[in-house]
Amino acid sequence: MFAKSLGDDGAELRPLEPWNAKEYLAHIDRCREYVGTHIALGDRATDLPSATAFLQMYADKAATDSGRLYGIWVDGTLIGGVLFRSFDTQSGTCEVGCWLEEAFAGRGLVTRAVRVLIDWAVEVRGIHRVEWVASSANTASIKVAQRLGMVRDGVLRESHPHRGVRVDREVWSVLAPEWRAARMTGCRGEAAAPRPGTPAAR
């Protein structure tokens, strides 16, 4: 198993697998309310069998090359994660996502972890388009997309029911040539200027 350092603050990225279910459940119990504000991740793991089943679902996705799940550990404690919600090499597209305990927000952990995922997707697997989908109300998630240099493609109005309310979701993306160009100029991670005809980020 690999562990990739995310910096000098004790943070590292590792695969999050079914054998981590007990640790994952304890982590979700700590952040269930905070994470549940915008996403239903906490609803998928309410006890050890459901936590195991959720992690197994992503293990199965990894086996079929259609998704992957990674945890972020700080000083040996699981505090969040990033994932390929979908991964399609035939179409050259994937969707990345994240979650994090509130106590660790604002440290750039998610941004650093997602950069690792995008680098791998673009440079190793030949993915052309990386997407990020977030509730319009989830300003923290949208700021991550901006820091990654993504462009807002549009808003899917009232497209997703969450806790009895239909919410708007924003679609952000970065294309492989844009990702590589930003890396070459050393400005990757800064918000990209909107392309012509693309609404500016709010």
pLDDT digits (tens, 9 = 90+) for 157-188: 998 888 888 989 999 999 999 999 988 887 55
Which pLDDT score is estimated for 2?
79
- The Cα 21–Cα 52 span in angstroms is 5
Mean pLDDT throughout 12-37?
95
- The Cα 149–Cα 190 span in angstroms is 5
* 132's tokens: 């990020």
* 14's tokens: 């590792």
pTM score above 0.85: yes
pLDDT digits (tens, 9 = 90+) for 81-128: 999 999 999 999 999 999 999 999 999 999 999 999 999 999 999 999
Helix and strand element counts for the chain (H, E): 5, 8
pLDDT(201) > 60 = no
Q: Does domain 4-185 have CATH number 3.40.630.30?
A: yes
Q: Where are the domains of the chain?
A: 4-185
Write the CB contacts of 164 (distance below 8 Å, at least 6 apart in sequence).
Answer: none
- The Cα 40–Cα 15 span in angstroms is 21
Burial class for 76, CB neighbours closer than 10 Å (0-12, 13-18, 19+):
exposed
Which pLDDT score is estimated for 193?
34
Position with higher pLDDT, 199 vs 153: 153
Question: How distant, in Å, are the alpha carbons of 50, 52, 142, 186 from that of 110?
Answer: 25, 23, 12, 19
Give the ranges where the chain is alpha helix by DSSP (H). Answer: 21-35, 48-63, 109-119, 139-147, 176-185
* 183's tokens: 């890396």
pLDDT(199) > 90 = no
Q: Is the distance from CB of 59 to CB of 17 less than 8 angstroms?
A: yes
